[in-house]
Chains A and B, each alone.
Chain A
Amino acid sequence: MKLKQISVFVENKPGSVGYPCKVLADAGINITTLTLADTKDFGILRIISKNWQEAYDVLKARKFAVSVNDVVALEVENTPGGLSRVLEALERQGLNVEYMYASVFGVHNRAVLIFRFDDTDSAVEKLAGCPDLKIVDSELFFSLK
């Protein structure tokens, strides 16, 4: 039900995002989706890849400040109000969203959003019992095109 996300700490300067991407490319690792969070001084490149373990190892070996954590992918209706219905459902469950971003690929004409919760395990538990929300598991997620 959860997806593994790789986070790479980068400086906010030219080339700093390109380099880790190049390292993954050279290792033949495909990035399924990604997002870049940035501040004035630094950024965090968050990557979701089917080969996350390999991605982590190859980045670690190149001395990147890299970490792995769990995120959850949720289906969101591709119509006005789709996202706000999901967010309201999360709020009813008392789930706090640390950050979220959209996946490059959708499923069944619906969008897929990646969510980072405080406590992913308890979030997944609550989401599973919530009929308004549909989790995209990793098998389905990595089959999306």
Chain B
Amino acid sequence: MMKNYNPVSAQDYLPRELLKQIQLQRLQKIVAHEYEHVPVYRERMDERGVKPEHIKTLKDIALLPFMMKKDLRDTYPFGLFAMEMSDVVRLHASSGTTGKPIVVGYSKEDIDVWVSCMMRALVAAGVGPGDIIQNSYGYGLFTGGLGAHYGIENLGATVVPTSGGNTERQVMLMRDFGVTGITCTPTYFIHLCEKALQMGLDVRDFPIRVGLFGAEPWTEEMRKRIEGLSGVEAFDIYGLSEMSGPGVGIECECHSGLHIFEDHFYPEIIDPDTCEVLPDGEEGELVFTTISKYAMPMIRYRTRDITHIIDEPCACGRTIRRIARISRRSDDMFIVRGVNVFPSQVESALLAVEGSLPHYRILLTRRPDGLDNMTVEVEISGGFDKIKTLEELQAKFSHSVERILGIHAVIKMVPPNTIPRSEGKARRVFDNRMNPTNQ
């Protein structure tokens, strides 16, 4: 119990009743603040006849309207800000690959809360003073880099702010500095390990022992690959810019779901179709309310992430609830021949086959007759001189994918290092169905 205990994590262990009282007080305060300062949201509450004083219990949160990514775009750039710019000390923005970027703002106190959550996440992963943490999340408008940076620094560990890119140099620094932990996307870490091998180095021989991996969904199969390749203990960290950034939740040493820092981020699970709140344990869309963030509160923000809440006590002793690992995001889902497919399902299917490397991509095309084709490219390791063996491997991939997805995919096995590597979030799906020139 309470392994890795550090006072910064005291809020992880509050008695549940006390935690609920804190949540209610913070919720009431933030709703009043939002109602007073954000006209767009006040109008929506008024339309529903809801006033801040109607929030008498935590359950009353269901009275409040939802927020969605679209709201952030529609009010670009500052329409959802609830404080004067003179009180806002930092802005972040998404890359904005689809239309306008989304902008988020923080007061000094908001930053403090964010940093404290990131510190608690690091502690849960066993990080503390004396650790040297390489932070390979991109620095800049993306919340990953600075979010992790200040958490590491304020915890008293040593941060190496490498940001993304220049991978050979990252390998060299990792070895020379005796780095003990890393924060980056799981994809980038694999790339880093492979780069080390190309340089004649093996990350398993380095002192590094822990990795906090996030900013993209990844699977248990991928965890096994990462741990085998590097010898580090891999922790799934969850966050999103709309909440603050990295450090909304993290796995503890039990690796059985992610603890949510619910004294700051109040979680709900809803049925994405009816928007009804579901009981703990039922799978649905994750919805968060930032109950401590004042520059730009997000009330009942629909994350598009599919998971369920685990309310059983965790063996680590933390009382904050967990969510199951997020391997499915509504945003990533695509439909092929009427079947809903998540990239993580393809990942599980491919990595379950021996001989696969953890690099793949999914190409969607439309045939002239209107039927969709899904081609899955996967890198394979060596060990073959017979065509028969390769064809058997291809058949194994094909069966594995078909068993999990229920539809046929064309499997294209490619040599190592063929699929472009990403230095940030991996792009897995290339949908050319609406783009006939690319077929």
Contacts and interface: CB of A to CB of B under 8 A. Distances in A.
Interface string A30-69: 0000000101011010100000000000001101111101
A99 B413 contact: no
B391 A39 contact: yes
Interface stretch (B14-22, B270-278, B377-385): B377-385
A134 interface: no
B384 A44 contact: yes
Contacts of A10: 415
B173 to A, nearest CB: 22
A61 B386 contact: no
Contacts of B386: 44, 98-99, 116
A77 interface: no
Contacts of B415: 9-11, 16, 63-65
B385 A69 contact: yes
Given A11-B414, A11-B415, A61-B198, A37 B387 contact: yes
Interface in B35-68: none
Contacts of A69: 385
Contacts of A99: 386-387
Contact of B387 (A44, A60, A64, A65): A44
Contacts of A42: 390, 413-414
Contacts of B194: 63
B417 interface: yes
Contact of A64 (B200, B382, B388, B412): B382
Contact of B413 (A37, A41, A60, A61): A41
B198 A67 contact: no
Contacts of A63: 194, 198, 415-417
A5 B416 contact: no
Nearest to B200: A61
A9 B412 contact: no
Nearest to B413: A42
B432 interface: no
B385 A44 contact: yes
Contacts, number: 60
Interface string B192-214: 00100010100000000000000
Interface in A58-85: 60-61, 63-67, 69
B418 interface: yes
Contacts of A66: 382
Given A64-B415, A65-B382, A116-B385, A9 B198 contact: no
A65 B385 contact: no
A5 B388 CA distance: 17
A42 B410 CA distance: 13
Given A39-B391, A61-B198, A11 B418 contact: yes
Interface string B356-383: 0000000000000000000000001111
Given A44-B390, A61-B198, A67 B417 contact: no
Interface of B: 194, 198, 200, 380-388, 390-391, 412-418
Given A9-B384, A41-B413, A60-B382, 17 more contacts: A9-B380, A9-B382, A9-B413, A11-B414, A37-B387, A39-B390, A42-B414, A44-B384, A46-B385, A61-B200, A63-B194, A64-B415, A64-B416, A65-B381, A65-B384, A67-B384, A99-B386
10 contacts: A7-B384, A11-B414, A44-B390, A63-B416, A64-B382, A65-B381, A65-B384, A67-B383, A98-B388, A99-B387
